[in-house]
Chains A and B, each alone.
With several copies, the nearest count.
Chain A
Amino acid sequence: MIGRYWAICQRDLLAAWRRKAGLYQPLVFQLLIVTLFPLGLGAGAQTLSKVAPALVWILALLGTLITLEHIFKDDFEDGSLAMYVRTDLSLPLVVLFKALGHWLMVGLPAVLFAPVVAVLLHLPESAYGVLMLSLLLATPIFSLMGAVGSALTLNLRSGGLLLSVLVMPLLAPILIFGAGAVLETSLDNSAKGHLLLLSGSLVLTLTLAPLAAAAAIKVNLE
């Protein structure tokens, strides 16, 4: 049974891989912004390391945001979403696995890539661990909330930006906890509270987001 859901996720990964673009470009995108930022800043290591946590987080968020639109839109446009809905698959689970596919493509690489960005931005080394851990907790939330947004804006031509507008306010608190955690660590404080909050949010989104997205899809297909 799980195999059938997994097939959806696998198929998305395969299609992304085919287009090649899908896989390495969010990373290149991130890297480019990280390069551009110091260029625009024209500043030394000090200012950079101060803004580093915020920047890493904004980057992870952006990389996710610009790719969200397609989570469901492509499936809707070529008619395969109608196909899923008509099988006996549970729609919330389909959403979950679509989000998993998105996370594997965009979220996970961002997590693995974070240390590189951190080095480029002179983040204190002590904070690397917490940076990665917090990203690991937060990126699935991004993908899940993104799935909700994507489901809501399915049949809008330029849903991309509306999507961001819908999703960003919901992700702002996550950003606060996450960047806060890194900041605390780099100031040698404990980041436990922040990480706990992140975990809590993750659990909450894991349970609620698939339901919300499934409801949105149902309405949209009507």
Chain B
Amino acid sequence: MNKLVKLYHTLGSPPSFYRIAGYFLTPLLLLALGLTAYGLVDGLFFAPIDYQQKDAYRIIFVHVPSAWMSMFIYAMMGIAAIMAFVWRMKVAEAVMMASAPIGAAFTVITLVTGMLWGKPMWGTYWDWDARMTSELILLFLYIGVMAMYAAFDDDPRKAARLTALVAIIGLVNLPIIHYSVEWWSSIHQKSSVKLTGSTGIKDWDMLRPLLVMAFATKFYYGYSMLHRARSYLLHTESQKQWAQAALGLDTPKKQNKEQSNG
């Protein structure tokens, strides 16, 4: 328990977070790249053809992992937002702001791959199906979070606190979206082709690349988020000594001052 508290405090302080996160960057990036390469090759060339959807289904190896990530990242962002707002943790702010663009990017990928897939499968790029709509709303939530932060370019602390509030409020919206989806589909019988559903995939050769890609995207998120969080911290703490040291501007000014004082 004590160790946990200590870890929390270590990670909570920007300089040590910056340092520790630095160690993880390269391994995470390598893992992400390697797994992606393997997953794509496996998925695009070796996984068996789907008897119904032919080769078009292979887009699933991009679509589904990014769909998962889009939601997972929002949850992470929401948790970071709560920590940022309640405890005013700078590191949590950094994690939150670093997550938003990545999450938005995955959401866009999901939407685009979904649309591309929809054309051959359903004969239309877009239909106002519950899942698509809620994904679109998720994109708006991300945009809202980023726009809120961007609007306060002068005062990063205030911007981060208000943005955290937005992200938290959006979090409340997640289950609502979920239930609205249920309600909605209970009203309208779907005119479109039903999504395969996770239980639909039984073939291990199909499932494997999917899982590999799911891990690859997680690692990528880890890498990209830590990277962004680090530069966020450097940017907002640029006045502090540790940041200047990290930037290689090893405070000759301060030494001068001390000398002149003495």
Contacts and interface: CB of A to CB of B under 8 A. Distances in A.
- CB–CB under 8 A between A and B in the complex? yes
Interface of A: 19-21, 24-25, 28, 31-32, 35, 38-39, 41-45, 48, 119-120, 122, 148, 152-153, 156, 159, 162, 165-166, 168-170, 172-173, 176-177, 180, 183-184, 193-194, 197, 201, 204, 208, 212, 215-216, 219-220, 222
A165 B126 contact: no
B126 A120 contact: yes
A219 B158 CA distance: 7
Contact of B148 (A44, A166, A222): A166
B24 interface: no
Interface stretch (B181-189, B206-214, B222-230): B181-189
A216 B147 contact: no
B250 interface: no
B133 to A, nearest CB: 6
Contacts of A177: 180, 183
B183 A197 contact: yes
Q: How large, as a class, is the contact surface on chain B?
A: 35 or more
Given A216-B162, A220-B162, A166 B144 contact: yes
A180 B187 contact: yes
Contacts of A194: 183
Interface stretch (B48-56, B93-101, B170-178, B240-248): B170-178
B8 interface: no
B71 to A, nearest CB: 14
10 nearest A-B pairs in the assembled complex, by CB-CB distance: A38-B128, A169-B140, A166-B144, A173-B180, A20-B150, A169-B137, A219-B161, A173-B176, A156-B151, A169-B141
Contacts of B177: 173
Given A38-B128, A45-B127, A212 B169 contact: yes
A169 B170 contact: yes
B172 to A, nearest CB: 7
Given A25-B147, A152-B166, A168-B140, A39 B158 contact: no
A222 B161 CA distance: 11
Interface in B146-164: 147-148, 150-153, 158, 161-162
Contacts of B162: 152, 216, 219-220
Nearest to B122: A45
Nearest to A168: B140
B133 A28 contact: no
Nearest to B184: A176
B17 to A, nearest CB: 23
A51 to B, nearest CB: 13
A30 to B, nearest CB: 12
A140 B187 CA distance: 25
B125 to A, nearest CB: 6
A35 B126 contact: no
Contact of A162 (B148, B170, B173): B148
B124 to A, nearest CB: 6
A31 B143 CA distance: 12
B173 A216 contact: no
Nearest to A39: B133
Contacts of B184: 42, 176, 180
A92 B51 CA distance: 59
A35 B158 contact: no
A184 B180 contact: no
A211 B168 CA distance: 12
Interface string B3-20: 000000000000000000
A220 B136 CA distance: 29
